[in-house]
């Protein structure tokens, strides 16, 4: 499935380069109009990142997110600084189908495990952003990629599998925002190792060929952000490419 992504800061559509707030690009687009446009193109689900809420949970853009969901045009998954049970509940009550949890899933595993039990694993996506070292070890970064947790992706998956883990959005940090292509070998390895998980690939996709290159990996979802906003190809073209697999 092709999953377009939209990053929001103070109601504006933006993209960050490798997670850096100091390297952001603003696009003159209305978020609700983006929902309508992507739905018209055939998208079934939209990935929303609340970057304002990620910095300050008291400023979470729930009103805007609710207005996007209220279009009724597609399904949504959303995250950005999810730190409490209330954060999860607020998004689900706003109509978000799946809440995306990143740093908290690394730093407070016992608490997040409780959320799996309370809300159901079908409503949670783990967002695991990884750095790959020279030896091929895959360590998860946290806090907007500013900190290396020292925790491996394998350790986290093994832990959360006990609680019914279903969805993982994995980003190779070195590729994100670069439009240099996704890390196909990484996703092929992860899908083969953990076939029961619905994997979403994110980071680096800048051409239709990059999408085609992901098809053999058997990932279930492909996140598209900057490439769509900058017109590298249309969402219609991306969907046709994926469906032609």
Domain boundaries, position 182? 2-243
- pLDDT recorded at residue 143: 63
pLDDT band at residue 18 using 50, 70 and 90 as cut-offs: low
- Domain total in the chain: 1
pLDDT band at residue 173 using 50, 70 and 90 as cut-offs: confident
What DSSP string describes 187-240?
HHHHHHH-TTSEEEEES---SHHHHHHHGGGT-SEEEE-HHHHTTSS-HHHHHH
Nearest Cα to Cα of residue 140 among 166, 164, 169: 169
Nearest-angstrom CA–CA distance, 51 and 65: 12
234: pLDDT strictly greater than 80: yes
Task: Please give, one letter per residue, the 3-state secondary structure of 184-199.
Answer: HHHHHHHHHHCCCCEE
Spatial contact of 221 and 197, defined as CB atoms under 8 Å apart: no
Nearest-angstrom CA–CA distance, 125 and 168: 5
Spatial contact of 177 and 208, defined as CB atoms under 8 Å apart: no
- pLDDT recorded at residue 201: 96
pLDDT band at residue 180 using 50, 70 and 90 as cut-offs: confident
Catalytic residue positions, numbered: 7, 129
Looking at every residue in the chain, the average pLDDT score rounds to 92
Domain harbouring 154, CATH code: 3.20.20.70
- pLDDT recorded at residue 245: 56
Q: Is the dihedral of CA 106, 110, 113, 115 positive or negative?
A: negative
- pLDDT recorded at residue 220: 98
Average pLDDT of the residues in 108-113: 98
Nearest Cα to Cα of residue 125 among 185, 212, 35, 48: 48
For the segment 36-89, what is each residue's pLDDT rounded down to a tens digit? 999 999 999 999 999 999 989 899 999 999 999 999 999 999 999 899 999 999
Supply the DSSP symbol for 122. Answer: G
Average pLDDT of the residues in 173-183: 81
Reported in sequence order, the residue ranges of 89-159 that DSSP labels E, i.e. its strands, are 98-101, 124-132, 138-142, 147-152
């Amino acid at each position: 499935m092709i999953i377009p992504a939209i990053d929001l800061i103070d109601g504006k559509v933006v993209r960050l380069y490798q997670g850096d707030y100091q390297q952001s690009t603003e696009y003159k687009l209305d978020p609700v109009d983006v929902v309508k446009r992507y739905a018209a193109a055939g998208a079934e689900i939209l990935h929303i990142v609340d970057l304002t809420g990620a910095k300050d949970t008291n400023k979470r853009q729930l009103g805007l997110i609710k207005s996007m969901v209220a279009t009724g045009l597609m399904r949504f998954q959303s995250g950005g600084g999810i730190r409490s049970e209330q954060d999860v509940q607020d998004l689900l009550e706003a109509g978000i189908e799946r809440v995306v949890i990143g740093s908290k899933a690394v730093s407070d595993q016992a608490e997040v495990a409780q959320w799996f039990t309370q809300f159901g694993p079908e409503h949670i996506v783990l967002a695991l952003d990884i750095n790959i070292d020279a030896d091929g070890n895959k360590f998860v970064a946290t806090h907007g990629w500013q900190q290396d947790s020292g925790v491996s992706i394998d350790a986290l998956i093994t832990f959360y599998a006990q609680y019914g883990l279903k969805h993982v959005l994995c980003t190779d940090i070195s590729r994100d925002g670069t439009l240099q292509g996704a890390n196909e070998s990484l996703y092929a390895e992860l899908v083969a190792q953990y076939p029961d998980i619905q994997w979403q690939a994110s980071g680096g996709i800048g051409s239709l060929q990059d999408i085609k290159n992901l098809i053999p990996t058997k990932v279930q979802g492909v996140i598209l952000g900057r490439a769509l906003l900058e017109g590298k190809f249309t969402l219609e073209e991306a969907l046709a490419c994926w469906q032609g697999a």
